[in-house]
Structure 1
Amino acid sequence: MTIRVEPMVSVGQATAFLVPRGYTLAVCLEVAEATLGGLAMGVGMTTYSHKVGLYQETIVAYEMVLADGMLVRVTRDNEYSDLYYTLPWSHGTLGFLVALELQIIKIKPHVKLEYIPVKGQKQYCDMIRDLSGALDKHRATPDYLEATVFSKEEAVIMVGKFVDVPYNEQYKVFQDIVLPMTHLEDQIDKCAELLDVYPILVYPCRLYDHGPHRGQLRPPRKDQKVPGTNYGMFNDLGVYGVPKLVREKKRFDAVHVMRELERFTADMGGYPFLYADTFMTRKEFEEMFDLTAYEQVRHKYNAERAFPHLYDKIKPEIDVVKVGKQYMDPL
């Protein structure tokens, strides 16, 4: 569980080598350009240091050229132990570093981050002490820990834990939908009913009525328009994450849920962003989007023979219904 590096190897180079193999430096600074040798002669500290200490504690051995030209291996328990403990913070004043042997740790593919807002100085100070293990050496501590203090009485504590991919991609939702803001409450209610994923992203956007100059979006309906204007105020509804049923390891039918969401979107006079899977039939797609001008332009510019139709381009490349049934019951 060590790695040997020579001078000028940077943090970024080391992690690029280690992470694909399932490892990282025990103390891994966020500054990719920092050299591992420079940190050894100076100091390093990261959000994993509550477990292992300063960077110097993860150094197994230094290989040094001393003032008399002798090459020595310096460890905490050989004849150069006095040098071992004084090299950190020495900034190259005790010898010339030619190699380092550093501790590494096994990692998982992902780090799950939790952000905990805390009000009150005593509350956030106590929480940091508790989570770090400062109050009890037997306390199970997170893999990464840090805090940002925004004012004397307000802080956010960040807790990171190594995790495997928690769910099959079949179970994650990535959806952006354009919907009329007149029905914002209904949008949030429908997301709660079908997915129960939070937080939900909402931001307003004008959808204009350009008269005869149409694209694929239909003009806003009269009841959707802002009075006295040629536009309707719509909004993006962004839903990203793992549905509640999946988090609770209960049965989740992704195809049924997304079909319900598509029906809701159509009823509201909205449109899903087409980067995500579309479960609509060709007929349903053409009822939702206005393809009149699109078809005319495809024909006029000879695109029909050269490029796929919009629907064929964005429809799933796999049988999503079949796959959905295969993964319907979480492991």
Structure 2
Amino acid sequence: MVPSAEGLAHAARRTRLLAALNAGEPGPAAQVALAKRTSNLFRDREAGPRRRIDLRDFDHVIGLDIARNTVEVEGMATYESLVAATLRHGMMPAVVPQLKTITVGGAVAGVGIEATSMRQGLVHHSMLELDVLLPDGRIVNCTPDNACRDLFFGFPNSYGSLGYALRLVLRTLPVQPCVRVEHVAFDHPQGFFAALAEACMGDADFVDGVVFGARSLVLNVARFETSAPWLSNYEFRRIYYRSLLEMPVDHLSVHDYLWRWDTDWFWCSRNVGAQNPVMRQLFGRRHLNSRTYTRLMRLNARWGITRRLARWRGLHTESVIQDVDIPLRAAPDFLEFLQREIGILPVWICPMRAPDPGVVFPLFPLGAGTLYVNFGFWDVVERREAHEPGHFNRLVEQEVLRLGGIKSLYSDSFFTREEFDRAYDMDAYARLKQRYDPEGHAPHLFDKCVLNR
């Protein structure tokens, strides 16, 4: 087969990267880290010497195979660019995480989920092939059945501690031009979760939901359609999550549906005033997106504005930014705990099941055939009484473990080493680390995600 122009360009970028890595001075034994403009991680690492690897040129869509429903893409490509490339050909990635700035490699090295996950699983379940830049500068090709299959299955949830994704092949799905969304209101969690499970067994293309309160839950069931009587747009003046309580049925273009949450960062745009009509006009369409809000959040973390205002009001605060996956049978119990102990609302709900129960990704183990419910809750908890640092996050982690769930590691974690080792199969990780990073050029997963080193 004659390589495409994009394939040749990708090979040239690999050659330049290897030449640059080989030409570098050995220097001090600093651990590797990515040189990135942005990040969707919500945990800060300790300052220290890092050997920055610049992979920012690896942000291209290499090619699509429409007959096989696959796309070949570089690891630093954002989902915004990947979706744009695939929609032009009537396709979409099998799982499209909610925010435009999430990179493909980041969604595999971390954990990516969305409303197709009840059938397609997580982003890494749609992966067919993976090229990894190892911490020592070697590049290895990984498939489910080659010599590096242990890294293929071990890479998801490794967060750069085993290397970085340079190239991936992912499954895609055919799309239609529009999406019809039905918003079904419930006033009790038991009925809501029962209906969610039923929707996951039906013919829906997308299923998610939102908990607005103890007696206000909305299940969103969506299907592709070839045409629509109208098309709503939530990229500027209108706010998507509010429509869930106002419109029993809605229609969006497939593009606008896939990015329905990005304009308001779900609902977190309210924390920067972007839901006020006057402020919304000042922000303008160009700046109403997760990219803007992430920058504002980083500035706030650096300057401590929110913390200072809270102290002035006599309040103690803790950021609780978490996504956790709970087996469906325990979902009502976790929601009751969340409302009682944490009190964050709204809460995003997304069902997820591994599509092949016989395939195991050891660093993010899931029960075979189990339907999980992802709870996404992102806000600041304020209390008059003081607590030790991480108190509320720690409560969440303990409840997740008690209920047989698992937590994403993109934000602050407070596990003990023993808890972490059991939850994320550190025995399997130790074998991967010994084979692919024996000299410890990259940090250990626990050190990176819990100790923030």
Question: Into which bin does the TM-score normalised by the smaller protein fall?
Answer: 0.3 to 0.5
Larger RCO (alpha carbons 8 Å, 6+ apart): 2
Q: How high is the TM-score relative to the length of structure 2?
A: 0.35
- Structure having the higher Rg: 1
